[in-house]
Amino acid sequence: MAITLNSGFKMPVVGLGVWRMEGKEIRDLVFNALNLGYRHFDCAADYKNEPEVGEALAEALSTGLVKREDLFITTKLWNSDHGHVVEACKDSLKKLRLDYLDLYLVHFPVATKHTGVGTTGSALDEDGVLEIDTTVSLETTWHAMEELVSMGLVRSIGISNYDIFLTRDCLVYSKVKPAVNQIETHPYFQRESLVKFCQKHGICVTAHTPLGGAAANVELFGSVSCLDDPVIKNLAEKYKRTVAQIVLRWGIQRNTVVIPKTSKLERMKENIQVFDFELTKEDMDLIGKVDRKHRTNQPAKFWGVDLYA
């Protein structure tokens, strides 16, 4: 099942996120995912594992396990490379061993001190606060992203972690409209206004952290997981599904793309088995009522500044 982007290309509605995946486990992760039917992989320069993902993809392509045209590969421009968009994209392509990207996103709407192409540094000042670059505008960054499309390096371009105001501005100054806005959204952080605004203007919403980050974000950021919500647990019993499957199905029925992350084979299997049932409108509405406006992903912990404040 796929969504057609405003660029005309199709994007599978379930993908696999590779954040926090490391080393040797990546090959197994990619091959297991491909064998289960995943064709959409969500990467980023900042995940620091593009070479390992690229190695696994190259092996899968060379052995005929999958064809390049059947894959949808996303990666992202890091904050420190806003003034070096073309170089950063080429660096990611080299690491991923690809000739083109299906989707390239501006990872965060902030330019930071350049630390060298592809190094994805987050330089902090003497007070431990992120060194924000005030010489590169988001408009300048976007026009460089548009060049990538003209150069044939990227099929679709998009934004990530943009709010309504920044998304609206991007629509104003863009010649090539953003195809995607990848944001955190899940039952505890539904962001209905932002989701509807993007969809109204032809921008596909991809839900990163579609399960609320589960145990990983509870541990890393001290967040609360929607997978423990009694309403959703009851629905899982009703539909005879896992809680995660209910949450992902809810995301799909909102017309968002979901990219859950897991390295566990059984969960990977469950996460893609969400197309043979449908939540009723009443049950969608029930989940709509559990929203806590709770952001689980908190980069301020590392950056010394809350960019969402």
- Interhelix angle 230-239/281-288, nearest 10 degrees: 160
Q: How confident is the model at residue 223 (pLDDT cuts 50, 70, 90)?
A: low
Q: How confident is the model at residue 215 (pLDDT cuts 50, 70, 90)?
A: low
- H-assigned helices in 132-242: 138-150, 164-173, 192-200, 214-221, 230-239
Confirm whether 173 is a catalytic residue.
no
Pull the structure tokens for residue 10. Answer: 């199709």
- pLDDT > 70 fraction of the chain, expressed in percent and rounded: 96
CA–CA dist 86, 92 (Å, integer)? 10
Binding residues for substrate: 107
From the CB of residue 138, how many other CB atoms can be counted at a distance below 10 Å? 18
Instruction: List pLDDT tens digits, range 259-289.
Output: 998 888 999 999 999 999 999 999 999 999 9
Q: Is the pLDDT of residue 204 over 90?
A: yes
Q: Average pLDDT of 181-187? A: 96
Cβ density class 46-60: b for 16+ within 10 Å, e for less: bbbbbebbbbbbeeb
Q: Average pLDDT of 167-186? A: 97
Q: Average pLDDT of 160-169? A: 97
Q: How confident is the model at residue 168 (pLDDT cuts 50, 70, 90)?
A: very high
From the CB of residue 281, how many other CB atoms can be counted at a distance below 10 Å? 9
Residue 140's φ and ψ, nearest 5 degrees, are: -60, -45
Q: Average pLDDT of 13-41? A: 90
Domains of the chain: 11-184 (3.20.20.100)
Which pTM was predicted? Answer: 0.94
Question: Could you identify the residue written with the tokens 């209910």?
Answer: 246
Active-site residue (options: 38, 47, 104, 188): 47
Instruction: List pLDDT tens digits, range 98-113.
Output: 999 999 999 999 999 9
DSSP structure class, residue 188: T
